[in-house]
A and B are shown apart, each in its own frame.
Chain A
């Protein structure tokens, strides 16, 4: 049976009634022992009998066509073949559900996957891939510079009131341009696939975030029926957007395996992850803020310039949070996407907010400076009553509380004027930024089984990319069924299981969690029936059912397993209410007065994301967000070659992500909140909230420390010390 719910109505807070005590508590991850002992198996760690090794080959020109010269390598030891069929130009975009661009023998950017070679061993395949001769016919006229691109798609999604007028009439204004460099997700596990064919059926062990879409994308790319594709991703070594869509190595492995009639494993080299998956676009952003004498916004303008390959539908939603975070009746956003011959742009953790809020929250700090109003007070003053563009009501929104309680816990009252606090050769300062991330509910299904022995099983093709899915689905089922979480097993990452929302957009926990909730709720209804009580009167705790003067252990109520499927669908609540998670980030930094080096000393995030399903894994998500924020504020940036557009810093030595010593103390506070409009578990997304705004808290702290306003991210020392 299937318990369906379309989220059209506010749902009762059942998880506050159940009383098992499994939900919210900071439970250790159930898969923890496997991960810390090296026994959790990731995609490249599956082996098949008679397996061959595939290696992808990259284009070494920016634009043109090519042929591969098989003769150049066919006598090399271990050579099994080289193929160019079905190659995809770049990874599919998140939730795309169809094949990405398949350019045939055409090259549209430097680094594009153009062939796969296979050999008996990995060492042989790698050698052959390097030795393979490619005959290129270069085409002139490619473009790699976003500032001079000839093809630019322009749009003005928001134009409300008269922003120019508001700017002219304002008591205070900010009109500033901010830039961010491209980012790479750089998950620690490179993309990997093992493809095995059984006749027309394909089984792929891959590393993917959204299996129900990935299956269709893979099938479509290969021109086959999706019903014949099975993808398994029980463990995913990080995704951060880069594994949302099917990636080139999956096609390479499948094509080679089919031709060879043997299983083929293909793993991207780190450099290939940097070059042929997706990056986050660079951005240029112009922020215009108009405020009255009290610092109340009368106008907000946020224009952005970015770039992508031709024929990619994705554009970074840079203004995602700008639409609803602060008030102001005159509003304008324009967007320009330059079409370039550089690797595709796509989703990287918190697409939109991650870079949009670097600019917006930096600009709010500039407005605070201009008005002389404390940055926290300024933000609170500008929290709108209703959505300033759509006029919708907000669902739960604890932004003011996050700012106030965070400030209190962080010791904000000790903040001084810029350059006022000095310790030896270090300037020390504090910064704050708001956090906001739109909340989304996606369709999701899960099967829940309760056994008479008091154990339960949750099955769904949902993934756990480090986010804590195994833990929170276990806790939801345990809470609803009145079991100790140790009695609940969660099976994930297999397209043979009921299709879930997938991990992305911070919707995974609430969407897949709701499906588990619904499946378990249906089981509760059946147990109530057997006990002879109304479902509302049923109490399940530690394997015992109580209700209507009856008290029976589960074993006595059940003659066999109870199996129910939960199915959540977004409904009118998604459109009726403006839903988002909110928070506030705080940073204290020291800036070296001689070198301009920035050291982040301590940080704090106060977050409100509805019901917290597991305080431990949720805090870890926020830790990750803050460190990513520090990375985007201080370190990270993809560099494209000005002549060819290729990614120059294509490895972990040259693309700098924060390391241990860059990650300071980080306290995380949660505000108690329920979002009744979001979903039946009243939770909102938190996976991306932590990065939204975090980097701006750092650059605002730099300003407070040393009086240098960095608008060109990342804030490397060369952008600071000349101005000290």
Chain B
């Protein structure tokens, strides 16, 4: 089936099997292998991408369901020499070891910061109405869908805290 996606701001047309996941479309058809496949079942978060600004497990959705959608992958956030604040902070804080979960962690953090800024509560929020504190517990709860077997969790959390102000923490989306 022929579809057109907007990937990292660029229109990309491709012809995919209806069974092709968005993740495999990115990795195999568009050669954007930054999004990783850890489980193919929505259990690890390695494949996290932003679809129209929201984080999603791209292995759990079919490419053909995304005609016209805006997809952002790790490749769209920055590149060597021009890394995003989050990416730089991950390097500084050693927020990775093998690096396999890393793109998913970073894209997920990007989406999480936006959710946070828009006042979304989480399981650990004390008050569902108030704007939650950008605390360690909130970050960890909201990032718990991104597994890291190397367990770089301390560095990941530190990196997210460090970079969040430069990644739009506190900026509410107009459309919310």
Question: Of all chain B residues, which has the CB nearest A121?
Answer: B17
A257 to B61, CA, bound (A): 30
Complex contact A35–B147 (CB within 8 A): no
Interface size on B, residues (CB 8 A): 65
Determine which of B83, B97, B137 lies in contact with A37 in the assembled complex, contact meaning CB atoms within 8 Å.
B83
Q: Contacts A37-B75, A188-B147 known; A28 to B99 CB distance under 8 Å?
A: no
Complex contact B150–A624 (CB within 8 A): yes
Task: State whether the Cβ of A323 lies closer than 8 Å to any Cβ in chain B.
Answer: no
Question: Of all chain B residues, which has the CB nearest A467?
Answer: B97
Provide the residues of chain B in CB contact with A238, threshold 8 Å.
97-98, 100, 149-150
Complex contact A660–B156 (CB within 8 A): yes
A189 to B35, CA, bound (A): 12
Question: Of all chain B residues, which has the CB nearest A621?
Answer: B97
Complex contact A237–B98 (CB within 8 A): yes
Task: State whether the Cβ of A269 lies closer than 8 Å to any Cβ in chain B.
Answer: yes
Complex contact B91–A624 (CB within 8 A): no
Question: Of all chain B residues, which has the CB nearest A465?
Answer: B98
Q: Contacts A40-B99, A121-B17 known; A653 to B43 CB distance under 8 Å?
A: yes
A187 to B38, CA, bound (A): 8
* Per-position 1/0 for B138-160, Cβ under 8 A of A: 01110111111111111111000
Interface of A is mostly: loop
Complex contact A236–B98 (CB within 8 A): yes
Of A302-310, A396-404, A612-620, the one contacting chain B is A612-620
Q: Contacts A39-B80, A270-B38 known; A187 to B100 CB distance under 8 Å?
A: yes
Task: State whether the Cβ of B58 lies closer than 8 Å to any Cβ in chain A.
Answer: no
Task: State whether the Cβ of A609 lies closer than 8 Å to any Cβ in chain B.
Answer: no
Complex contact B91–A623 (CB within 8 A): no
Complex contact B38–A29 (CB within 8 A): no
Complex contact A37–B98 (CB within 8 A): no
Q: Contacts A240-B149, A659-B144 known; A33 to B103 CB distance under 8 Å?
A: no
Task: State whether the Cβ of B129 lies closer than 8 Å to any Cβ in chain A.
Answer: no
Q: Contacts A121-B17, A238-B149, A660-B140 known; A36 to B90 CB distance under 8 Å?
A: yes
Most-contacted residue by chain A among B27, B39, B143, B146 (CB, 10 A): B39
Considering the complex, which residues of chain A in the window 670-720 have a beta carbon less than 8 Å from any beta carbon of chain B?
none
Task: State whether the Cβ of A391 lies closer than 8 Å to any Cβ in chain B.
Answer: no
Task: State whether the Cβ of B4 lies closer than 8 Å to any Cβ in chain A.
Answer: no
Q: Contacts A238-B150, A617-B94 known; A45 to B100 CB distance under 8 Å?
A: no
A29 to B93, CA, bound (A): 10
Complex contact A188–B154 (CB within 8 A): no
Complex contact A652–B44 (CB within 8 A): yes
A540 to B21, CA, bound (A): 54
Determine which of A41, A187, A627 lies in contact with B153 in the assembled complex, contact meaning CB atoms within 8 Å.
A627
Considering the complex, which residues of chain B in the window 88-135 have a beta carbon less than 8 Å from any beta carbon of chain A?
88, 90-92, 94, 96-103, 106, 124
Task: State whether the Cβ of B19 lies closer than 8 Å to any Cβ in chain A.
Answer: yes
Provide the residues of chain A in CB contact with B46, threshold 8 Å.
188
Determine which of B98, B154, B156 lies in contact with A466 in the assembled complex, contact meaning CB atoms within 8 Å.
B98
Complex contact B75–A44 (CB within 8 A): no
Complex contact A652–B43 (CB within 8 A): yes
A99 to B46, CA, bound (A): 32
Provide the residues of chain A in CB contact with B124, threshold 8 Å.
661
Question: Of all chain A residues, which has the CB nearest B19?
Answer: A123
Complex contact A38–B74 (CB within 8 A): yes
* Per-position 1/0 for B31-75, Cβ under 8 A of A: 111111111110110100000000000000000000000000111
Complex contact A620–B44 (CB within 8 A): no
Complex contact A28–B98 (CB within 8 A): no
Question: Of all chain B residues, which has the CB nearest A625?
Answer: B151
Provide the residues of chain B in CB contact with A235, threshold 8 Å.
98-99
Provide the residues of chain A in CB contact with B27, threshold 8 Å.
45
Q: Contacts A33-B83, A467-B97, A660-B139 known; A652 to B39 CB distance under 8 Å?
A: yes
A467 to B151, CA, bound (A): 12
Complex contact A237–B100 (CB within 8 A): yes
Complex contact A44–B37 (CB within 8 A): yes
Q: Contacts A37-B78, A45-B33, A659-B144 known; A466 to B94 CB distance under 8 Å?
A: no
Task: State whether the Cβ of B81 lies closer than 8 Å to any Cβ in chain A.
Answer: yes
Task: Give the number of residue pairs across the A-B interface with Cβ within 8 Å.
Answer: 188
Complex contact B36–A189 (CB within 8 A): yes
Query: How far, in Å, is A273 (CB) from chain B's closest CB?
Result: 9
Complex contact B147–A37 (CB within 8 A): no
Q: Contacts A189-B98, A652-B39 known; A660 to B20 CB distance under 8 Å?
A: no
Q: Contacts A123-B17, A237-B36 known; A652 to B102 CB distance under 8 Å?
A: no
Complex contact B154–A187 (CB within 8 A): no
A189 to B139, CA, bound (A): 24
A663 to B19, CA, bound (A): 36
Considering the complex, which residues of chain A in the window 188-202 have a beta carbon less than 8 Å from any beta carbon of chain B?
188-190
A316 to B66, CA, bound (A): 49
Provide the residues of chain B in CB contact with A28, threshold 8 Å.
91-92, 94
Provide the residues of chain B in CB contact with A627, threshold 8 Å.
151, 153
Q: Contacts A623-B152, A623-B155, A661-B137 known; A41 to B33 CB distance under 8 Å?
A: yes
Complex contact B99–A624 (CB within 8 A): no
A121 to B40, CA, bound (A): 16
Q: Contacts A623-B151, A652-B44 known; A122 to B99 CB distance under 8 Å?
A: no
Complex contact B140–A37 (CB within 8 A): no
Provide the residues of chain A in CB contact with B148, threshold 8 Å.
188, 660
Complex contact B91–A29 (CB within 8 A): yes
Q: Contacts A38-B74, A47-B31 known; A660 to B153 CB distance under 8 Å?
A: yes
Determine which of B24, B44, B75, B154 lies in contact with A38 in the assembled complex, contact meaning CB atoms within 8 Å.
B75
Task: State whether the Cβ of B10 lies closer than 8 Å to any Cβ in chain A.
Answer: no
Question: Of all chain A residues, which has the CB nearest B157?
Answer: A660
Question: Of all chain B residues, which has the CB nearest A624?
Answer: B151
Complex contact A466–B150 (CB within 8 A): yes
Query: How far, in Å, is A627 (CB) from chain B's closest CB?
Result: 3
A237 to B34, CA, bound (A): 13
Complex contact B99–A660 (CB within 8 A): no
Task: State whether the Cβ of B173 lies closer than 8 Å to any Cβ in chain A.
Answer: no
Complex contact A269–B17 (CB within 8 A): no
Provide the residues of chain A in CB contact with B37, threshold 8 Å.
44, 190, 267
Task: State whether the Cβ of B28 lies closer than 8 Å to any Cβ in chain A.
Answer: yes
Question: Of all chain A residues, which has the CB nearest B152?
Answer: A620
Provide the residues of chain B in CB contact with A329, threshold 8 Å.
none
Query: How far, in Å, is A722 (CB) from chain B's closest CB?
Result: 27
Task: State whether the Cβ of A548 lies closer than 8 Å to any Cβ in chain B.
Answer: no
* Per-position 1/0 for A464-485, Cβ under 8 A of B: 0111100000000000000000
Q: List 15 A-B contacts (CB under 8 A).
A: A31-B99, A35-B96, A37-B34, A37-B75, A38-B33, A123-B19, A238-B150, A270-B40, A467-B97, A617-B94, A652-B39, A653-B43, A660-B157, A661-B124, A663-B140
Assuming A468-B97, A653-B43, what are 13 further A-B pairs, CB within 8 angstroms? A35-B102, A37-B75, A37-B79, A187-B98, A188-B46, A189-B100, A270-B40, A270-B41, A620-B152, A626-B151, A628-B151, A652-B44, A660-B143
Give A contacts to B, CB under 8 Å.
Answer: 28-29, 31-42, 44-45, 47, 121-124, 127, 185-190, 235-240, 267, 269-270, 465-468, 616-617, 619-621, 623-624, 626-628, 651-653, 657-661, 663, 665-666
A-B pairs with the 9 shortest C-beta distances? A38-B34, A237-B100, A466-B98, A466-B97, A35-B99, A627-B151, A38-B74, A32-B91, A663-B153
